[in-house]
Structure 1
Amino acid sequence: MLIPERAADAVVLLADPDAQAANPYYWYRSRPAWEAVAEALLRAPERRVAEAARSVRLDPADLACHARLTAAVRAHLGSDHGKSSDAIREAVERVHVEARLGYHRGSELPRRVRLTDRPPPRVPAERRAVPDRPHVNVVIPFRDDCRDRGRLKNALACLAALADQSLDARRYSVTVVESDVEPRWRESIEPHVDEYLFAWHDGPFNKAWTVNIGAMRTVHPAPLICVLDADALVDREFLARNLARFDEPGVGSLTPLRSVLYLDAESSAWALGRRCVDGSRSVPIEGTRGFLVYRSPGVCVWIRRGVFESIHGLDERYEGWGGEDMELLLRLTARSAFHQFDDPQLHLHHRVEAGILDDYGNTPNCGLTALTWEPTEPVGAPDRYAARQERLRRKG
């Protein structure tokens, strides 16, 4: 384990808002371990260690500050300052064991062309011919009610990457389900997908229900369902590679990733430009900076339709951010032959709403019990919130 680098990483993870945005739940629970590292550095007898740590906390994105802190810690440990060195090593070991978030600095990052803005992603102007019998249906749940339209920009990049696939276009279909009080971005999205569905809901985003609508109500059902977040940026072989994995016996479902790289804002713009504007087959992570969510339960999962139907899809009791992805993986693991691979996965940057967690670091769904989803009503019913919609209509 590279203790000096990991010590500097811990200070960045503690101080950078983008680290917290990658996964607020894991960030909250990893924070005590990072704070122990920061405290050990600030108490180091060599003044330059503490000064370098303060510099990183003031500007966590500055690679030069990170390098100075790494060098200062390495020199400090090399001098063997007894208790101080032991405290740093023990604190870093705690991070290594407990933290679910990591820091990524691409080796080519200093030589990358810095960007201030890029053109919008090149989404094909015309829709593909709708396949008669697709092998896989990609379902993308979506909502963007933010002023900066960050999620919409990411969704268009996601669609552009899906349109640029090595897999024969006749073998897959793409369905976007927008859940909101109005079909806010229908005109922007519909021309670029095989199917656009709208699901009215004025409450916290219900990803589980939105996915179930796309999977169960599609007019292009396929033997395989790929649930993909609208912020995912996939490579050109993404569909072909994962489709081929189901040719192996004993694969009922899979996730193609172990960790997800949540790009910072600048790396996100650079990656979008490389993949969707320049037309690169993939984005070299050596040119990116971001935060790794280890063993991430979200972003992408592939499921045989029979398995999806047998487990009643995603648990629609989960409303608001957090929990539904992990719950789904638990049921897939318990009730199907579930496989996990280690493909690189990029997540595009977007603003994260405040108030996702309560004062104790819990998600809105912390009271739900996993593995208890036994619906009595049809799964993916578009009228799930129809009664509330009607009440609001009458009041208005």
Structure 2
Amino acid sequence: MSTPPEPSVPHLAERLTAYAVLAHDPAVPGIAADYWAKSEAHYRKVDAALTSCVADTPATARPYADVLADPTRAAAQHALREALAARLAERPDSADQLAQAVAEADRHIWIDYHLGADYTAQAPEATSPEAPEPSAATAAPVARPRPDGPGAVRIVIPFRDRAGGLRTRNLLACLRALADQEGGPAHRITVVETDSEPRSREILADLVDDYVFARKDGLFNKAWAVNVGVVATAADTPYTCVLDADILVDRHFVARNAERLREGDHGAHLTFRWSLSLDEPSTLRAIALRNDDAAADVPESVLRGLLLREPPGGCVWVRTEVFHAVGGFDERYEGWGGEDDDVVARLGAAATLLRYTDPLLHLNHPRPEMTRDDGVPFNAHIEPLSWAPAHGYGDREKFIAATA
């Protein structure tokens, strides 16, 4: 097996700057607590080596201090990259040691960092005076034309937004992107809103093929919401896509993934290896490009965000028969965490499950609570992989009956 080539000095400077951000940006621990726990020691190790490298030279110490003072400021990061590249070119021994530290850490981290060369934190220019920026009000798609027949693809989106805020904005952007698809089979869209009342019915009813309201107060239950959508609307559909409401897809998303299932012999797949969780300026720019400017996709060069390594959810494509064979999602999972890991593991046990390497853009929104008040994960009591079709699934009246 050949040894991978040594990274170039500019690339090494870029990676070291990324580690400075990962070690010091408070957004990193908040994006995924379990991923942070597995990665933190590796960030700290590289950052400690970087601190030693820059400490004795003002030309590198100053931009490094600027990054630590504000890890979100792109200009400070570009300045640190340039200063590091110049210093490392003069000190090849230090460069070799730092390159080894980065290579070792890269093997273990579960959260990485992306800063596009053309990223700017400035809000995108308005496309018209009436639409100063994408919002729940201005980003609404026109009524969706209904395809004839059941279609080959059913896209099921679970949803709740009690504030009518960024989650709603993101869902509308998602729906506009799904309405702008080229080629591929007919696809139908189901949004399942679970709440104490149908808050979003009027906004969504004309934008999707099926709006399903499933009454449930208390913690959000994504697993149950997905099952309700599949059972209620995907009976005659060979392929199902479970899509989070905060994912912005490209124009060929449906055609590409339907073909993968049609031409392959696998039972399910995830479209990505790294999910890019965008900051708010990148989210606004992505929505403006994809929705308002009708771009086929969003170039990563204009984006900034945190990369999550192989998360289990967000976008899962599955043969509908395989979904039913495993009993759908485990409806005992409530609140944040665990349901995606569980269903992907059960799908993989029942049929071949693949991962592709498409970009996955996750739009910004407030982070949910990840643990109960006592610090214990919401679903720590559930035995993974213990759900089966015999439990019954997708009962729209389940939580009404339970509280009656």
Same fold, TM-score > 0.5, yes or no: yes
Q: 1:67 aligns with which of 67, 78, 82?
A: 78
Give the secondary-structure state (helix, strand or coil) at the position aligned to 1:385.
helix
8 A contact 2:173–2:287 mirrored in 1: yes
The alpha-carbon distance between structure 1 residues 86 and 124, as it changes in their structure 2 partners (threshold 3 A), is closer
- The reply to whether residue 144 of structure 1 matches residue 161 of structure 2 is yes
Query: Which of 254, 262, 265 does residue 269 from structure 2 map onto?
Result: 254
Q: Per the alignment, do residues 373 and 220 of structure 1 end up closer, same or farther by CA in structure 2, a change over 3 Å counting?
A: closer
1:269 Cα deviation after fit: 0.3
| Stretch deviating more after TM superposition (326-335 or 192-201) | 326-335
Deviation at 1:340, TM superposition (A): 1.7
Aligned with residue 105 of structure 2, among 95, 112, 115: 95
TM-score by length of 2: 0.86
1:47-96 per-position Cα deviation (integer Å, ceiling 9, x unaligned): 434443331122112222112323344445445497x8787556434431
Letter in 1 for 2:69: L
Runs (5+) with no aligned partner, structure 1? 391-396
Alpha-carbon contact 2:142-2:207 (below 8 Å) kept? yes
Tell me which moved more, 212-221 or 327-336. Answer: 212-221
- 1:357, 1:111 → 2: CA distance? 31
- Cα distance in 1 for residues equivalent to 2:162 and 2:20: 33
1:123 Cα shift? Answer: 4.1
Partner of 1:385: 399
Q: Which of 149, 156, 169 matches 1:153?
A: 169
Partner of 1:393: none
Q: Does 1:34 align with 2:47?
A: no
In the alignment, is the contact (CA less than 8 A) between 2:124 and 2:288 conserved in 1?
no
TM-score (norm 1): 0.88
2:195 counterpart of 1:186: no
Q: For 1:197-346, list aligned pairs within 5 A.
A: 197-218=212-233, 221-346=236-361
Contact kept, 8 Å, 1:131 with 1:173, in 2: the verdict is: no
Matched position secondary structure for 1:175: strand
Deviates more, 1:376-385 or 1:255-264: 376-385
Distance (whole Å) between structure 2 residues aligned to residue 195 and residue 371 of structure 1: 30
Which of 48, 53, 69 matches 2:64?
53
Look up the equivalent residue of 1:102 and give its one-letter code. D
Which residue, 379, 384, 387 being the options, matches 1:373?
387
Residue 158 of structure 2 aligns to a residue whose secondary structure is strand
- Counting only pairs closer than 5 Å after superposition, residues 78-117 of structure 1 correspond to structure 2 as 78-80=89-91, 88-89=98-99, 91-109=101-119, 114-115=124-125, 117=132
Q: 1:10 aligns with which of 7, 15, 19?
A: 19
- The residue type equivalent to 1:181 in the other structure is S
Greater shift in the superposed pair: 297-306 or 114-123: 114-123
The percentage of counterpart residues that share the same residue type is 37
**Alignment gaps of 5+ in structure 2:** 1-6, 127-131
User: Aligned partners of 1:249 and 1:280: how far apart in 2?
Assistant: 29
Q: Which amino acid aligns with 2:181?
A: Q
Q: Is the 8 A contact 1:28 1:361 kept in 2?
A: no
Corresponding residue number in structure 2 for 1:164: 180
CA distance in structure 1 between the aligned counterparts of 2:389 and 2:356, rounded to whole angstroms: 31
Contact 1:15-1:57 at 8 Å conserved across structures: yes
- For the aligned residues, what is the CA RMSD? 2.8
For 2:263, what is the secondary structure of its paired residue?
coil
- Going from structure 1 to structure 2, the CA distance change for 1:191 and 1:5 (only over 3 Å counts) comes to same
**Aligned equivalent of 1:127, options 139, 144, 151:** 144
SS of structure 1 residue aligned to 2:205: helix
Q: How many Å separate the matches in 2 of 1:219 and 1:307?
A: 13
Post-superposition Cα deviations, 1:322-345, rounded to whole Å, max 9, x if no partner, equal 121122221122111222211111
Secondary structure at 1:254's aligned position in 2? strand
Distance in 2, Cα, partners of 1:300 & 1:124:
21
**In 2, Cα distance between equivalents of 1:223 and 1:309:** 11
Q: Secondary structure at the match of 2:297?
A: coil
Distance 1:127 1:79, change over 3 A: closer
For residues 123 and 108 of structure 1, do their structure 2 counterparts lie closer, same or farther at Cα, with a shift above 3 Å needed? same
Contact 1:43 1:50 in 2 (8 A): no
**Over residues 259-285 of structure 1, what are the superposed CA-to-partner deviations in whole Å (9 max), with x where a residue is unaligned?**
111111001001101111111111111
CA distance, structure 2, for counterparts of residue 95 and residue 366 of structure 1: 29
Distance in 2 of aligned mates of 1:16 and 1:115: 27
Q: Which amino acid aligns with 2:155?
A: V
